[in-house]
Structure 1
């Protein structure tokens, strides 16, 4: 689907009876253009008939951080304790929010649960996220809190040198405020969450998830420790080298140590482990014994921020389609490559078509 078609589907999910003229006014296009897009969506099987009856397909709930990313980068080596000339940009970010945007760009129906302040950053986040095709109706808008902000500094190689996050607002996303989303969670095809959630929110998540698979992003070695009590309830865990070693207490200095580390995680109850090892690629392991390596994607790194979120989105999309783990990992690596080669945290050109061009030999499910 095109970005415009995803945007139209988002509006139709919120109001299946919306008149075409009102939809045109909301999108800033003509009524005839809306009619043309709706006809194409009907041909693709996304709309089943009059009254905009939408095709029933499993949706993803993304639960966790949504923040404004402020990125500073230099073309010369960073000098500590000095003012460094460079470029500064702002973009929508947050691990769960980024994953949700990437999933929507792949064509998935994704609902975001998070919290933002009723301020300039918060309103901008909601607008850009909805424009990408994500359902943001379940994001809390809090008038007495500031939207999360993530400040990162990058050297000329694109890698992050240091970052500061101000995410106090997520402590307000507690069990009481999450309770109205119980049914949304229970009927999801898959849940993706991040370790930005408070211990209270994590306890609520695993109490309500039932049999729905939970894919968890560890975020950082510090925040990954919050997941320790819940390892037996997590279906898929995606740590990096430092986070995996910190959680398990096992070394991961060389690729040869990865299988023993994966065995430890499977003993705790993790069904799928995907460890990102930077230049060494990705090691994946399933509790059924399936395991292997997927090499790092060949691409020019413009911005490393957001690649892990794109990787998780690809894993979740592959799981929704019933793809075997090795194929889902290869697709996820393609999503990461597209993101690494883009200056923005989330590549606006990410799509299933773009991924298929990088991985033409994968057995993709038939798309209507």
Structure 2
């Protein structure tokens, strides 16, 4: 790498195949719409948003040495990501995510991140071998970590001395993978970004407001958390208490990637010196612009 990264984005980088329709959909719906293929994955979405907000992200992930992988690497490079540390596998295919969205939100999705899971700790070598850091000299910068990694690898990262100096920002890939983040619920250097459903899964409770969920996560031992609840509210909590905000009202045209945009905007705002209220407000505004379609994909 000729440039130094401002943030490491660790996790899924794949192709998003998304079908979107302006119609309200239910199980079995067959409606007209548009199907797109774009670079995606939680780590990729965070990196793309971070680049839009002025940061220089480096990717730590697994991408196949197939045609789809070569095309994906080229797309990442063109979007301002650093890809020199990506683990390229000769025998693992490039991962893919497929989703269907209607006017009433996400209808269904399947994430095929098997190559990332099989690559395991190979994607972390730059943080272990001295390229970026090591156990003896841990990487001291920002790291965005996504829950598409295996539970075993996330547990390893949570206790690894190679991550002991990092500013860890952690997000689940989906509610179905929220439980994988449990090792970070009591981590002293981690901030968790979750939606209200994921907060409930981690706390084994049901919440009606984001602030209530954030408070509960702090009581469970979390150092810092941000909890979102779609277009209704969001809250950020830490040692200095809980603050809450409401996103601007917009016409929703897409939902996949909104949480990742919120997280990246919040990290970028704090990197620029914004206080808690400013950072939360900027993250909510960025997520609202994204779901409205005003932010480029």
TM-score (norm 2): 0.89
What residue ranges of structure 2 are gaps of 5+ in the alignment? Answer: none
2:72 — aligned with what?
A: 125
1:178 — aligned with what?
A: 124
Distance in 1, Cα, partners of 2:58 & 2:142: 11
Give yes or no for the alignment of 1:90 onto 2:44.
Answer: no
* Correspondent of 1:169 among 93, 97, 115: 115
**SS of 1:279 mapped into structure 2:** coil
What residue ranges of structure 1 are gaps of 5+ in the alignment? Answer: 1-13, 16-53, 349-368
Distance in 1, Cα, partners of 2:227 & 2:168: 17
Distance in 2, Cα, partners of 1:176 & 1:224: 23
CA contact (8 A) 2:141 2:165 kept: no
CA contact (8 A) 1:175 1:204 kept: no
1:148 — aligned with what?
A: 95
Give yes or no for the alignment of 1:276 onto 2:231.
Answer: no
CA contact (8 A) 2:99 2:106 kept: yes
Give yes or no for the alignment of 1:238 onto 2:238.
Answer: no
Q: 1:84 to 1:299 in 2, by over 3 A?
A: closer
**SS of 1:323 mapped into structure 2:** coil
Distance in 1, Cα, partners of 2:60 & 2:108: 28
Distance in 2, Cα, partners of 1:115 & 1:279: 33
Q: Which digits, 9 at most, give the CA deviation of each residue in 1:290-348, with x for residues without a partner?
A: x22211223222211111111000111122223222211111112212211228xx725
Distance in 1, Cα, partners of 2:101 & 2:228: 20
Query: What's the offset of the Cα at 1:133?
Result: 0.8
1:229 — aligned with what?
A: 183
Q: 1:177 to 1:303 in 2, by over 3 A?
A: closer
Q: Which digits, 9 at most, give the CA deviation of each residue in 1:264-306, with x for residues without a partner?
A: 32234322211111121212212222x2221122322221111
Distance in 2, Cα, partners of 1:79 & 1:295: 28
Query: What's the offset of the Cα at 1:124?
Result: 2.1
2:173 — aligned with what?
A: 219
Distance in 2, Cα, partners of 1:180 & 1:190: 15
Which aligned pairs between 1:3-82 and structure 2 lie closer than 5 A?
A: 14-15=1-2, 59-78=6-25, 80-81=27-28
CA contact (8 A) 1:58 1:188 kept: no
- Stretch deviating more after TM superposition (123-132 or 203-212): 203-212
Which aligned pairs between 1:105-116 and structure 2 lie closer than 5 A?
A: 105-116=52-63
Q: Provide runs of 4+ in structure 1 moved above 6 Å.
A: none
Distance in 2, Cα, partners of 1:99 & 1:342: 17
Alignment root-mean-square deviation, CA: 2.2
**SS of 2:231 mapped into structure 1:** helix
**SS of 1:275 mapped into structure 2:** strand
1:347 — aligned with what?
A: 296
Q: Which digits, 9 at most, give the CA deviation of each residue in 1:167-219, with x for residues without a partner?
A: 10111332355233334253342111011111232234331211211100122
Give yes or no for the alignment of 1:189 onto 2:136.
Answer: no
Whichever structure has more strand as a proportion of its residues is 2
Whichever structure has more helix as a proportion of its residues is 1
CA contact (8 A) 2:127 2:139 kept: no
- Stretch deviating more after TM superposition (320-329 or 170-179): 170-179
CA contact (8 A) 2:203 2:220 kept: no
